[in-house]
Amino acid sequence: MKTPMRMREKIVLRVVAQACIPFILLFALYVQFHGDFGPGGGFQAGVICAAGFILYGLIFGLDKLKKVVSLRTIEILVAAGLLLYGAVGLVTMGMGSEFLDYKVLDHHDPMHGLHYGILFVELGVGITVTAAMLAIFYAFAGRERG
């Protein structure tokens, strides 16, 4: 029976992953910031972004991924995304409107306020989803066999 090759011995996979990961992350940014005009948004962008980091972890190892995105960073990102989402709602309430009524964010043009509100809320969702998916990956990838 053949011994399976370790990932560091699979040069083609490492080179292709190294070339593709920046484009995966760039596509996640596109989906994130195009989400208020078409299909996409925070959740989809967060999953795509996490998929890029997970691919990095699968190809180069969990230890290297943890050097790029530590567990502490993930905890901070989950909280920051949730706080950003909630802060937008609190700001709209502070401006005398209902929770997440984006139109009050710009007094001159309510449509601009709507755009800003959606942009920040979706950014909060994207950050939270990316961090949550990475936390799930860390939990499963870090398990011991047996």
User: Is residue 21 predicted with pLDDT exceeding 60?
Assistant: yes
Handedness of CA 86, 88, 91, 92 (dihedral sign): negative
Q: What is the mean pLDDT of the chain?
A: 90
Backbone angles phi, psi at 10, to 5 degrees: -95, 85
Buried-state track 70-91, b at ≥16 Cβ within 10 A, e below 16: eeeebeebbeebeebbeebbeb
Indicate whether 133 pLDDT > 80: yes
The pLDDT tens digits of the residues spanning 48-103 come to 999 999 999 999 999 999 999 999 999 999 999 999 999 999 999 999 999 999 99
Dihedral angle over CA of 138, 127, 65, 54, nearest 10: 70
pTM for the model stands at 0.88
In the predicted model, what is the mean pLDDT of residues 117-121? 92
